[in-house]
Chains A and B, each alone.
Chain A
Amino acid sequence: MMKRETTGGNRRAAVAIWVAAVAIAFFFAGMVFCGTVEIPADAVARVLFGDVDDAVVLTIVRDVRIPMALTALVAGMALSVSGLLLQTTFNNPLAGPSILGISTGASLGVAVVMLGFGGWLGAGLGCYAGILAGAFAGAAVVMFLLLLFSMAVRGNSMLLIIGILIGYLASSAISLLNFFSTQQGVHSYVIWGMGNFGGLTWERLGVMGVSVAVCLAGASLFVKPLNALLLGRRYAGSMGVDVRRTRNWLLVISGALAAVVTAFCGPVGFLGLVMPHVARMSTGTSNHVWLFPATVLFGGAGALLCAWLSVVCGGGQIIPVNAITPIISVPVIIYVIVNRKKL
């Protein structure tokens, strides 16, 4: 009887996780020290250490930059885990919350609130609760449809296609709403659709953080079934996994994560699709015991990177998030597709 010690793959995974953590720290600092307003580093440092002399610098650093960085961090974690759950559940490397129409459903919910009920006015004016409710409702509708179809449809690819089609339906509904709405409303919606990590107060950030934490905790309970699903539905079932129930729960959690982010930040694309792959490639394993935390950390790092780029590359303005995420993500996706055999 011989006891196997941890294999080399785990060591690489551990290193990768440390790298991701360092990246998070690095880009977080970048977000605090860089911004649209020129503030010398020593002034920022003074504020961080409690010297609250300059009220303007204090407000900007404490109430604008740090919340924005935290929002990006939480959003990145949420979206990438959402993508990971979907990719394993559907056994498809191109699955993600945007592709399955969940983010689009959430966007439709928000569009109904913004455009249907009073345009910009309703949206801008602390109908924040309305926007949140709309996002959750929209995501819930899409998830419900997906669950419904998952009972009728056997294969995973088919369900993915149905998700894509539902997403298209939601998009067309949004277009219709836009067409019949005021110019101001449309403009508002378009801006919202570009994604935005800024604008959250500490209170709202708290709500977002707690929601995401709850979902991540729930998702982590599924590490074992997720690993089993790697072998395929039949093998997973033969090992005792309730495949249908697991798939449903994973859909719900994934959808909830996507809805939370969409509600607070608008629809942020690509991160959910790409970051799990970055985690996979860095850790070199598909074992969710390592992949799950790696996805969480790489997701946070990736979002922080995009947020930081959106701030420093804009020349005094903040570039919309959804303009940056594809630039970072598409090369990674293409690399994954081309190198499919390897991983």
Chain B
Amino acid sequence: MLTLENLTVGYGKKVLLRDVSASLGAGELVTLVGANGAGKSTLLKVLSGDLRPLAGGVSVCGEPLAGVPRIKKSRLISVVNTDRVEADALTVHEVVGMGRYPYTGFFGRLGDDDEAVVYDAMKATGVEAFAGRNMATLSDGERQKVMIARALAQSTPVILLDEPTAFLDVASRVEVLSLLASLAHERGKAVLLSSHDLPAALDLSDRLWLLPGDGAMHCDSPADLIAAHNMVMSAGGTCNSPLDSLFTGRAVRFDVQRLDFVAALCK
């Protein structure tokens, strides 16, 4: 669905990712993990077409992303990010309805088909009960779900999400991640999200893309990553498995029991 070909990503002189190749397929849930500043958001911007890569290219559904016209691209890729949305006076229904933008006519009127898709998206994300309420009356978690519903209503094969669980409480986080997993596994979407929630990522994702911050990207399934970590540990090393490499030089190490990072003294 989404292919990265020798992609180099960064801003001006600063290179964040160098010569990275990877692919995201239909039905896959991939989580992008890395420290702040490692390049997660930048990579997502390049993948959604918002930012040009420094070198290399991205293909979506076989076509080079750079050549895809705007409307067509909006039918292939939808995004969810952490941008503050100034839509307080819009109803949930109106916001989700905007996901049908690439398909509706002049004033954005929703036809019967569109309404059906919108309703379905709201139901899938669990916000159909709020349909008539203004966005201003929702909590952060509910609002985030609405934005995901909007992306879902856009009916794209690829969905890119930048830290979708950033401001959510634990329950909402679990709900959102389960939702994303079902979008991938049950509806066949290609879902890529960035997250700091490592345990959930290891639990639900098909693969993780790790950004240690040295310009490379390490792609592996959770099982393989844990196995690799165990191998390194049993060989006597600490703080230098692929997972540990996410935070080299910091005073944390990956703990297989908790599937998360814990405080440690690494040399």
Residues of A within 8 A of B (CB): 1-4, 7-9, 91, 221, 223-224, 227-228, 230-232, 234-235, 237-242, 280, 284-287, 289, 341-343
Contact = CB atoms under 8 A, between A and B. Distances in A.
Given A239-B74, A240-B74, A234 B50 contact: yes
Contacts of B93: 4, 7
A232 B147 CA distance: 12
Given A8-B132, A234-B50, A289-B108, 6 more contacts: A9-B91, A238-B77, A239-B74, A239-B101, A241-B101, A287-B90
Contacts of B48: 238
Nearest to A234: B83
Contacts of A241: 70, 101
Contacts of B106: 221, 223-224
A239 B154 contact: yes
Contact of A287 (B71, B79, B94, B104): B94
B91 A230 contact: no
B99 interface: yes
A8 B94 CA distance: 12
B78 interface: yes
6 contacts: A2-B119, A3-B112, A223-B106, A238-B79, A240-B73, A285-B89
Interface in B149-206: 154
Nearest to B81: A234
A20 to B, nearest CB: 17
Nearest to A223: B107
A295 to B, nearest CB: 13
B87 interface: yes
Nearest to A226: B108
Interface of B: 48, 50, 70-71, 73-75, 77-79, 81, 83-91, 93-95, 98-99, 101-102, 104, 106-108, 112, 115-116, 118-119, 131-132, 134, 136, 154
A241 B102 CA distance: 9
A129 to B, nearest CB: 37
B136 A342 contact: yes
Contacts of B104: 224
A239 B107 contact: no
A113 to B, nearest CB: 40
Contacts of A223: 106-108
Contacts of A230: 85-87, 90
Contact of A1 (B99, B119, B132): B119
* Residue of B73, B85, B91, B95 most packed against chain A (CB within 10 A): B91
Nearest to B133: A7
B133 to A, nearest CB: 9
Given A224-B108, A232-B86, A289-B107, A240 B70 contact: yes
Contacts of A240: 70-71, 73-75, 101-102
Nearest to A1: B116
A227 to B, nearest CB: 6
B74 A9 contact: no
A289 B94 CA distance: 11
A4 B136 CA distance: 21
A284 B89 contact: yes
Contacts of A8: 132
